[in-house]
Amino acid sequence: TVLVVDFGAQYAQLIARRVREARVYSEIVPHTMPVAEMLAKRPKAIILSGGPASVYADGAPDVGRELFDAGVPVLGICYGFQAMARALGGTVAHTGSREYGGTDLTVTRPGSTLFEGTPAAQSVWMSHGDSVTEAPDGFTVTASSAGAPVAAFEDDARALYGVQYHPEVMHSAHGQQLLEHFLYRGAGLTPSWTTENVVEDAIAAIRAQVGDKRVICGLSGGVDSAVAAALVQRAVGDQLTCVFVDHGLLRKGEAEQVEKDYVAATGVRLKVVDAADRFLQALAGQTDPETKRKIIGREFIRVFEQAAAEIVAEAGSHGETVEFLVQGTLYPDVVESGGGTGTANIKSHHNVGGLPEDLTFQLVEPLRRLFKDEVRKVGEELGLPAEIVWRQPFPGPGLGIRIIGEVTRERLELLREADAIARAELSAAGLDRDIWQCPVVLLADVRSVGVQGDGRTYGHPIVLRPVSSEDAMTADWTRLPYDVLARISTRITNEVADVNRVVLDVTSKPPGTIEWE
Ligand code: XMP
């Protein structure tokens, strides 16, 4: 295991993912974890992440010297680099020369452990106010930039390394190479974390946990629940029943697609529950986003418990209960909820088949250690069809949080039509893999004046929200070709009654979230 010590910025997840891309298993730990506890995990290497703070700021997290004396290879990045320099006796100063964004880096020791085979001049991503002005004893300075006289240092004898810039971000041209050099050359690791291993380990763990008991899994049609279910099916076969709750907030063709694609590919036992009326009734009159989310989450659970009881009854196993519930929880969810560093509740996400506090199921979470891209690889390894593996994310509360205002049957129908058109045109243009997802939102309480044929119209706007992202934590709006946007707009205003305007959302995340509610 490679430990990535999280100093509080959003970089730790990205670093962990890059390390896994180098096929080395990595885990994130908070910087508040005592060094002894980190070392007890027997890491093969440690990476100190960037952070928001200056090492001189009040309450700036420190790194104890004992971390560097333990004989474990360490790479410090940005804040981690400065904290490392300070702990080992180097100098970190407010030089006044801040660097943010793309910066030219000069490699002063080509052929060093970190820079071997990369150009002497390269573009890197910097984000710092303070700078290391003197490397600690024993280190060689191997790169510099205009604002950072010591932009990288290396000590092969102790396998300690550091860089001021962020090798994990895409904008650092040779960043991945640098990380791999640290892992393979600096720390002597071999790339062995493979999808096959992941699948084998997951299946063994599920068997050990579940034994011969019954398991249910909520299928949403999305990739996470599909892959989780497929793993459980591999592990315990017939003990699994999947439940698909049609809450009436689905997109066009979705329920059919789950039945067709998923069942055909896996042969899993599927129970479909039509609960549209129940959800619509519960949502009647509600306009507040959090209230809507909570209602949907609650109704899900009720439907689910009922389904579990029916499954047992149908199997004629009186007195028996379903003990295990499969959840498609991913590693970022675990990190975010386990960080405990006071992350604000932006919105109440819930996975389909959600997590009620009073639920009696035990959870099976075979994807807890994986990132989304790894989940997709596992899906491919298990032979799931591309339509499922490459499906764009769709939120559990569905179209319910894409109607801004009260959710009604008529509004759902209208949005479903508009969404189907947008999806069809994006697919036809071959853009599915370029976009992370494209919510289509109905501003149900907004009307604007239009003209169609010879008459005045007074209809609703539809918002297109195409985004590009690696993990949905941050996102940018996708620059879609104008002709594709034009086709979507023309078709929606022509074909969907009561919609007379299509607008494009050009907000990144932050500050906007991906969904509108
Ligand atoms: P936001 O809107 O927070 O969304 O930027 C980030 C990602 O999460 C999806 N999302 C959800 N997924 N249950 C889910 O399963 C939810 O309640 C939920 N809310 C948002 C959203 O589509 C995006 O991919």
For residue 190, the number of C-alpha atoms closer than 13 Å in the C-beta half-sphere is 1
Relative to beta strand 74-77, strand 140-144 is unpaired
Measured from the Cα of 436, ligand 1's closest atom is 24
What is the overall mean pLDDT for the chain? 91
Per-residue pLDDT reduced to its tens digit, 46-59: 999 988 777 887 77
Q: What mean pLDDT do residues 75-79 have?
A: 96
Atom 11 of ligand 1 has which residue's CA nearest to it? 395
Measured from the Cα of 348, ligand 1's closest atom is 17
Please state, in angstroms and rounded to a whole number, the distance separating the CA atoms of residues 235 and 237: 6
475, 468 in Cβ contact below 8 A? Answer: yes
Per-residue pLDDT reduced to its tens digit, 153-180: 999 999 999 999 999 988 899 999 999 9
Per-residue pLDDT reduced to its tens digit, 301-322: 889 889 989 988 887 776 778 8
Measured from the Cα of 296, ligand 1's closest atom is 17
pTM of structure: 0.80
Atom 21 of ligand 1 has which residue's CA nearest to it? 395
Query: For residue 193, how far is its CA from the centre of ligand 1 (angstroms)?
Result: 29
Please state, in angstroms and rounded to a whole number, the distance separating the CA atoms of residues 345 and 332: 15
Please state, in angstroms and rounded to a whole number, the distance separating the CA atoms of residues 173 and 161: 19
Please state, in angstroms and rounded to a whole number, the distance separating the CA atoms of residues 313 and 308: 9
Whether the predicted pLDDT of 327 surpasses 50: yes
> What integer pLDDT is reported at residue 350 of this predicted model?
53
CA 424, 508, 395 angle in degrees (round to 5)? 50
pLDDT interval class at 92 (50, 70, 90)? very high
Ligand 1 within 6 A of CB of 515: yes
> What integer pLDDT is reported at residue 63 of this predicted model?
86
Whether the predicted pLDDT of 356 surpasses 70: no
Domains of the chain: 2-186 (3.40.50.880), 195-389 (3.40.50.620), 408-504 (3.30.300.10)
141, 153 in Cβ contact below 8 A? Answer: yes
> How many angstroms separate the first and last alpha carbons of the chain?
38
Query: For residue 424, how far is its CA from the centre of ligand 1 (angstroms)?
Result: 22
Higher pLDDT, 351 or 67: 67
CA 97, 98, 100 angle in degrees (round to 5)? 145
Tell me the CA distances in angstroms from 186 to 20, 63, 156, 189, 303, one per residue in order.
16, 20, 7, 8, 54
> What integer pLDDT is reported at residue 352 of this predicted model?
37
- Of 462, 451, 459, give the one whose Cα is nearest residue 498: 459
Q: What mean pLDDT do residues 230-240 have?
A: 95
> What integer pLDDT is reported at residue 340 of this predicted model?
35
User: How is the chain split among helix, strand and coil, in percent rounded to 5?
Assistant: 35, 20, 45
Orientation angle between helical segments 195-210 and 372-381, nearest 10 degrees = 90
Instruction: Read off the DSSP letter of residue 437.
Output: B
Please state, in angstroms and rounded to a whole number, the distance separating the CA atoms of residues 231 and 383: 11
Q: Which residues are CB-contacts of 50 (< 8 A; sequence separation ≥ 6)?
A: 7, 9, 11, 77, 78, 79, 80, 127, 166
> What integer pLDDT is reported at residue 256 of this predicted model?
87
Q: What mean pLDDT do residues 40-67 have?
A: 88
Residue 97 labelled as part of a binding site: no
Ligand 1 within 6 A of CB of 218: no
Measured from the Cα of 401, ligand 1's closest atom is 19
Whether the predicted pLDDT of 80 surpasses 60: yes
pLDDT interval class at 68 (50, 70, 90)? very high
Q: Positive or negative CA dihedral for 140, 42, 376, 359?
A: negative
Atom 22 of ligand 1 has which residue's CA nearest to it? 395
231's enclosing H/E stretch is helix 223-236
184, 45 in Cβ contact below 8 A? Answer: no
Ligand 1 within 6 A of CB of 508: no
Atom 3 of ligand 1 has which residue's CA nearest to it? 513
Q: Ligand 1: which of 219, 254, 337, 349 to mutate, judged by most atoms within 8 Å of the beta carbon?
A: 349
ipTM comes to 0.98
Residue 224 labelled as part of a binding site: yes
CA 24, 28, 29 angle in degrees (round to 5)? 135
